[in-house]
Structure 1
């Protein structure tokens, strides 16, 4: 329902919500009479589709006469025309927005600008950011592009960013992208701030347990500022941030956090641990036989950047013993410790599989 008029009608309209929902379940056109203690309300569906888009509520003291009935029917016809026209315009804007985004991601910024025109052109004339959002769990993900933007997981986000953009006159691009939702927002603008604030609200709800199952909120990744030429890179940044948000159980992660942070927390990923266990398994199996301590020796040698004397002193062995152990590491792994890539992989594997006491 739209805004009630006159002012007192707002209180009455709030009590009609359940009746409007019942009416929407009926094939259009449909109507319903709700009799109250002091008044009588007629509800009429608006729209020509199978499911009505809105409802008109007409309050009367008694049954409408012929003249009043004609007036109501005329209002229904005009409001239906306006509703359907608005719906068609929104659908056309959505198609243009989808085309603009796909051209940007395909590396065709000039074509994207031409299609954007006055509708989205200002977004491409200044730095923007991409937000990639998805449902917090697979069961909540929308099944197709049309459903993604209307899913419960994204409704709050879309409402927050669209309201903020409208208040400040900002252009905003919201595009269903498979089971995801992609937002193109002005860098530092009201829509970006609204997305960040909405994420903070969702995280706070998850923390204190007040998040509702029917509206679980999304997971989001936010790119660094970019221009049309770098849109594809910005999308990858947003995807990387989204992956981290999913792993950390947060609603939103900004790409700047990843660049400013440490790579070490990312080693907790199951795939990284599996790789590390596989790489070091042969060394651990060797040590389990009591024929040496190759893993600890390798860790000491790498931590000392290959300095034999310093690493041997840390281990309390002669440097010749350490040299022998490192040759055994190379033989068992079939890799050369002279290769910096090998040393990097081994060090990260040791970090990924280390315990707090290591």
Structure 2
């Protein structure tokens, strides 16, 4: 399953008969490639998105990836009624422009798992848009790291809010709770190892972690709390 969406910010509403220009041309490219290779393909317009059910590793999938890779190199000039601007031949791309097309590809799936493939393609499409790249495969997302996703403004705002009280505490010179928490979490709660890294006695570190719990109103015995605090530290580092 392939999910494709017109990039470059908000798009006007489009009917099935009036797709944004990247999706209209992408649909033609995919259907043409499938016809030439004798593959079965299902192309379903969905407003400013396009859903494609195609043979894994086939010509239709290859055509989709190639079209998406070439699409960001073109810029926009003029617009048809109800459509976003079309690319102008030979013109330069706008400075800092987002890809004109984003594509998300699911993992290979049988017909019984189409609903799962649909969700995977949608998730990969969201990641492609977030990263500003033309194509993302769901398998690559799963094999990667979650850390790049922490760059999201909403995640950083959550992290800043979660750690604000600790940073305010440290700003008054009453102990380095943020650094101590980071060392303790990175050492998986091993008191001696974390204390040695900080150059303090383990009893001092235990006191600091109790202060962290008191200030945040959360227990460090809770694995969900430890996970949230670690991600907050990574997002704001």
TM score, norm. by length of structure 1: 0.58
Match in the other structure for 2:8: 137
| 8 Å CA contact retained: 1:154, 1:217 | no
Cα distance in structure 2, aligned partners of 1:263 and 1:139: 26
Shift of 1:139: 4.2
Any unmatched runs of 5+ in structure 1?
A: 1-129
Match in the other structure for 2:160: 277
Aligned partner (choices 202, 214, 230) of residue 71 of structure 2: 202
Shift of 1:156: 2.6
Cα distance in structure 2, aligned partners of 1:139 and 1:295: 39
Q: Does 1:326 align with 2:209?
A: yes
1:296 is paired with a residue of what secondary structure?
A: helix
Match in the other structure for 1:350: 233
Q: Deviations over 1:7-56 (max 9, x none)?
A: xxxxxxxxxxxxxxxxxxxxxxxxxxxxxxxxxxxxxxxxxxxxxxxxxx
2:38 is paired with a residue of what secondary structure?
A: coil
2:54 is paired with a residue of what secondary structure?
A: strand
Q: Does 1:310 align with 2:193?
A: yes
Q: Does 1:156 align with 2:39?
A: no
1:219 is paired with a residue of what secondary structure?
A: strand
Match in the other structure for 2:92: none
Shift of 1:146: 3.4
Cα distance in structure 1, aligned partners of 2:182 and 2:12: 44
Shift of 1:259: 1.1
Moved over 6 A (4+): none
Say how many residue pairs are matched.
218
Q: Deviations over 1:303-336 (max 9, x none)?
A: 1110101101111111111000000001111111
Higher relative contact order (CA 8 A, sep 6+): 2
Shift of 1:291: 0.9
Q: Describe the shift of the 1:139–1:352 C-alpha distance in structure 2 as closer, same or farther (beyond 3 A).
A: closer
Cα distance in structure 1, aligned partners of 2:15 and 2:219: 49
| 8 Å CA contact retained: 2:158, 2:232 | yes
Residues 1-358 of structure 1 mapped to structure 2, 5 A cutoff: 130-148=1-19, 151-203=20-72, 205=73, 210-213=74-77, 214-215=86-87, 217-354=100-237
Q: Deviations over 1:92-145 (max 9, x none)?
A: xxxxxxxxxxxxxxxxxxxxxxxxxxxxxxxxxxxxxx1111111344344334
| 8 Å CA contact retained: 2:23, 2:49 | no
1:146 is paired with a residue of what secondary structure?
A: coil
Cα distance in structure 2, aligned partners of 1:144 and 1:272: 34
Any unmatched runs of 5+ in structure 2?
A: 78-85, 88-98
1:186 is paired with a residue of what secondary structure?
A: coil
C-alpha RMSD over aligned residues? 1.5
| 8 Å CA contact retained: 1:140, 1:153 | no
Q: Deviations over 1:151-192 (max 9, x none)?
A: 212133112211110101111111112331111111111100
